Amino acid sequence: MKLVDTAIKKPVTVTVGVILLVLFGLISLFKIPIQLTPNVDTPEISVETVWRGASPLEVEREIIDVQEDELKNLEGLDKMKSESLDGRAYINLMFKVGTDPDAALLKASNKLDQVKKYPANMDKPTIKSGGRHESAIAWLVLRALPEYEGSLSHEYDFCDKHIKPRLERISGVASANIYGGQERELQVIVDSDALAARNVTIPELIRALDVENKNISAGDFDEGKRRYIARTVGEYKTPEDVARVIIKRVNGAPITVGDISRVSLGHEDIDVVVRHEGIPTIVMNAVRETGSNVLVVMKKLTEALDELNNGILKDRGLSLVRVYDETSYIYSAIRLVKQNILIGGTLAVIVLLVFLRNVTSTLIVSLAIPISIVGTFLVMTLFGRNINVVSLAGMSFAIGMVVDNSIVVFENIFRHREMGKSRGQAAYDGTVEVWGAVLASTLTTIAVFVPIIFVEEEAGQLFRDIAIAISSAVGLSLLVSMTVIPTLSSKILGKVQRTEPSRKSWFFYRLATAFTNAITQFVYWTCGRISARLGLVVLMTGLAVGMAWFLMPKTEYLPQGNREILFGILLPPPGYNLQELEHIAEAVEKDILPLIEHEKKSEVAASLGLPPVKNFFYVAWGQQVFMGIVSKVQERTRELLPYAYSVLRKIPGMIAIVQQPSLFATGIGGGRSIEIEIKGPELERLIAMGRQIFGQVAQLIPGAQVRPIPGLDLGNPEMRIIPNRDRLTRLGMTTA
């Protein structure tokens, strides 16, 4: 065989090839992205539209319906979901696998531009790639230092102007988001009595403020040797500028904004409650770019936080603290898989040493492990993959496989050496004699995994890394067995002689001989009787099927994992205001905060037999309450789940959900959950049916956490004013 002959005759070439493979593999190892789970490329686009003050029914009728009419004809659209909330509309577009996300985003944007009938005071729709619920790699909380004297909720503009841009400049961070706080705004507080006395209407006031707040270009003109640009400067710079705006004139006398209102700088009303360990604050997160190395991004993020905390934040009496990130779980998961790889490789070498009983022979065969595994990193880089728990699991599986080919080849070389052949001749004859069997064995293994690489669905994308890792490792082991093993054997394999076993090894020799003789006699006995052969086949098949039936473990799509965080959701009754949601927060914090352990040990956690809590945060927005509990002991996180659920269940009128997020899930319910969709034209009937299903599921499956989306109520209570059109006409008024 030409390949084997060339490898034996040109050992330097083989050595250089191995060195290059290992070198480029190590370079790839330091360059390849590292993250927790594989990238699942599901083309998804989200559209958000804000229409302040509108009810969910109005949002659906005026925004969702007209947008869906345009978006439903998008090429490659697989599923479209919409959600109508108070003052907001969300549409989620899911496309078929293989759809170009950039092209889909452009087409969706063009479709939205074709919508003509929008409400007058609605904000422009925001469209972006990815789902509505982005998976953040880190959550940051703004804290006050002892010398701080202000209000944390008033620091929104500071965070938006200084902190957010700094975080988004980090390579690998796609976006940073701010939750909570109050934006600074210019407030015009109208005096209704003064308004009526001067016969000024609110629309007149709004129109005057809007018209005057403009800078308008008036062109340019020449004067002597110079050209001047003319521009009307009318934008407001101070509250006094607003107060001096003339609304209209009555009998020649001007009526200004200051005459009928008080103008001042203030902060907008709070629409999101954010609390960290019982203190109202502002929360930020960082969302990474697809394909970036999570560990590298987090390192840069930590450096940026140190820079901010020692700079502008310290000068302002503030600090930004990281309360949760993925790296701790990634490090622990990767560390565990690395340990398994190391233990598996060590055990493989020990087994080889026991059976080969020769250090040199063991080293020759064991070289297949590092060469194949390190070379696999190069292959994965060329395929554009990353290091994650799935790809590392594939390498763990491959540890035992990569030495199989080398063992077969080396054992045959060893046998030819025992015949008295020279090292070179034994290496060549021994390799050529078994190369066909080794190739067939390798191809059968690769044939099992290669089809997974070409599956475009979610399952294929999840397990593509494991298929590439195993296929490349086994393929490289074939190359090693055909080149490296015969080359080393032809150079360093010493003279082989059959020796009698020593007294120390006599017991093991007799044991091995007895085992071999027993197997040989059993094979002769079964081969001589057809009834024995058939009986053996039936017995072994029945035994295998029976054991598989009784020992079958519980099945699920993906493993749950063991993250150190619990997520909880509370669905309050409709109509609860933010003040009431803050009262709920205080009730929850009364039971959770005693479990927190920082410098001082938590005696409450110890007395209850629960792991201490490292962080607790609470977010209330609209009609949903979201909370997170971070355990200090990752392995015991699940022990906190029943306690947290019992705390939330104590709040009257609430629907509570508490879950430990799955390893592969991006939100609540993304792991082990069953979804029941109720469809129909009448919302009232759907709500009634949903209540029935909710109650029946709770009875049939005791202890199950059932979450209705969006809820089991028709919406917030509202006060309706029905105008008398006849009287309005007499008074010169309209319904607007």
- The string of pLDDT tens digits covering residues 467-512 is 999 999 999 999 999 999 889 888 877 665 555 555 555 666 677 7
Q: Which CATH number belongs to the domain containing residue 339 in this structure?
A: 1.20.1640.10
Q: How high is the mean pLDDT of the chain?
A: 83
Pairing between β-strand 77-85 and β-strand 88-95 as defined by DSSP bridges? antiparallel
CA distances, 448 to each of 381, 391, 474, 734 (Å): 22, 16, 12, 74
Residues 462 and 436 in one domain: yes
DSSP structure class, residue 34? B
What is the full DSSP assignment across 531-595?
A: HHHHHHHHHHHHHHHHHHHHHPPP--SS-----SEEEEEEEPPTT--HHHHHHHHHHHHHHHGGG
Dist. CA 187–CA 174, nearest whole Å: 34
One-letter identity of residue 669: G
Q: Give the pLDDT confidence score for residue 159 in this predicted structure.
A: 92
Q: Give the pLDDT confidence score for residue 523 in this predicted structure.
A: 83
Dist. CA 291–CA 533, nearest whole Å: 55
pLDDT band, very low/low/confident/very high, at 20 (cuts 50, 70, 90): very high
Residue 235 lies in a domain: yes
Residue 508 lies in a domain: yes
pLDDT band, very low/low/confident/very high, at 165 (cuts 50, 70, 90): very high
Residues 491 and 399 in one domain: yes
Residues 363 and 418 in one domain: yes
Q: What is the pLDDT of residues 632-664, one digit of tens each?
A: 887 888 888 889 888 888 888 777 888 887 766
Residues 233 and 275 in one domain: no
Cβ atoms 369, 348 nearer than 8 A: yes
Kindly tell me if the per-residue pLDDT of 15 is higher than 80. Answer: yes
Q: What is the pLDDT of residues 387-399, one digit of tens each?
A: 888 888 888 888 8
Kindly tell me if the per-residue pLDDT of 204 is higher than 80. Answer: yes
Residue 534 lies in a domain: yes
Kindly tell me if the per-residue pLDDT of 528 is higher than 90. Answer: no
Q: Give the pLDDT confidence score for residue 501 in this predicted structure.
A: 56
pLDDT band, very low/low/confident/very high, at 60 (cuts 50, 70, 90): confident
* Domain extent at residue 634: 565-673
- Which of 652, 673, 694 lies at the terminal end of a domain, its last residue? 673
pLDDT band, very low/low/confident/very high, at 58 (cuts 50, 70, 90): confident
Residue 707 lies in a domain: no
User: Stretch 686-697: mean pLDDT, rounded?
Assistant: 77
Q: Above pLDDT 90, what percent of the chain? A: 12
Kindly tell me if the per-residue pLDDT of 669 is higher than 50. Answer: no
DSSP structure class, residue 256? E
Q: Give the pLDDT confidence score for residue 714 in this predicted structure.
A: 60
Q: Which CATH number belongs to the domain containing residue 221 in this structure?
A: 3.30.2090.10
Kindly tell me if the per-residue pLDDT of 89 is higher than 50. Answer: yes
In the three-class reduction of DSSP (H, G, I as helix; E, B as strand; rest coil), residue 505 is classed as coil
Cβ atoms 362, 352 nearer than 8 A: yes
Q: Give the pLDDT confidence score for residue 656 in this predicted structure.
A: 81
Q: Give the pLDDT confidence score for residue 690 in this predicted structure.
A: 77
Q: Which CATH number belongs to the domain containing residue 294 in this structure?
A: 3.30.70.1320
Residues 309 and 166 in one domain: yes
Kindly tell me if the per-residue pLDDT of 666 is higher than 60. Answer: no
For the chain, state the CA radius of gyration: 36
Kindly tell me if the per-residue pLDDT of 304 is higher than 90. Answer: yes
For tokens 């799509």, what's the residue?
A: 557
Kindly tell me if the per-residue pLDDT of 540 is higher than 60. Answer: yes
Q: What is the pLDDT of residues 409-418, one digit of tens each?
A: 888 888 888 8
| Number of domains forming the structure of the chain | 6
Kindly tell me if the per-residue pLDDT of 712 is higher than 70. Answer: no
Q: Which of 229-233, 620-624, 677-681, 714-718 has the lowest mean pLDDT?
A: 714-718
Residue 720 lies in a domain: no
User: Stretch 502-529: mean pLDDT, rounded?
Assistant: 76
Q: Give the pLDDT confidence score for residue 572 in this predicted structure.
A: 80
Q: Give the pLDDT confidence score for residue 301 in this predicted structure.
A: 92
Q: Which of 107-121, 199-213, 361-375, 557-571 has the lowest mean pLDDT?
A: 557-571
Highest mean pLDDT among 157-166, 214-223, 570-579: 157-166
Residues 43 and 99 in one domain: yes
Residues 474 and 595 in one domain: no
For tokens 């978006």, what's the residue?
A: 71
pTM of the shown model: 0.72
Q: Give the pLDDT confidence score for residue 164 in this predicted structure.
A: 93
Q: Which CATH number belongs to the domain containing residue 86 in this structure?
A: 3.30.70.1430
User: Stretch 283-295: mean pLDDT, rounded?
Assistant: 81
Kindly tell me if the per-residue pLDDT of 716 is higher than 70. Answer: no
Q: Give the pLDDT confidence score for residue 210 in this predicted structure.
A: 87
Give the number of C-alpha atoms closer than 13 A to the C-alpha of residue 22, restricted to the C-beta side: 12
Residues 10 and 94 in one domain: no
Sheet of strand 565-571: strand arrangement: 279-280, 272-276, 613-621, 624-631, 565-571, 655-659
Comparing 20 with 717, which gets the higher pLDDT?
Answer: 20
Residue 28 lies in a domain: no
Q: Above pLDDT 70, what percent of the chain? A: 91
434: left (phi over 0), alpha (psi -120 to 50) or beta: alpha
- Which of 643, 673, 703 lies at the terminal end of a domain, its last residue? 673
Q: Give the pLDDT confidence score for residue 319 in this predicted structure.
A: 92
Q: What is the pLDDT of residues 426-463, one digit of tens each?
A: 888 888 999 888 999 899 989 988 888 888 777 777 88
Residues 126 and 144 in one domain: no
User: Stretch 376-388: mean pLDDT, rounded?
Assistant: 88
Angle between helices 11-31 and 368-382 (to 10 degrees): 50
Residue 529 lies in a domain: yes
Shortest CA distance to 327 belongs to which of 58, 102, 139? 139
Residue 696 lies in a domain: no
Q: Give the pLDDT confidence score for residue 668 in this predicted structure.
A: 47
User: Stretch 156-171: mean pLDDT, rounded?
Assistant: 92
Q: Give the pLDDT confidence score for residue 313 in this predicted structure.
A: 92
Residues 363 and 451 in one domain: yes
pLDDT band, very low/low/confident/very high, at 132 (cuts 50, 70, 90): low
For tokens 């940026």, what's the residue?
A: 304
Q: Give the pLDDT confidence score for residue 696 in this predicted structure.
A: 76
Dist. CA 93–CA 652, nearest whole Å: 36
Residues 508 and 482 in one domain: no
Residues 373 and 339 in one domain: yes
Dist. CA 596–CA 599, nearest whole Å: 10
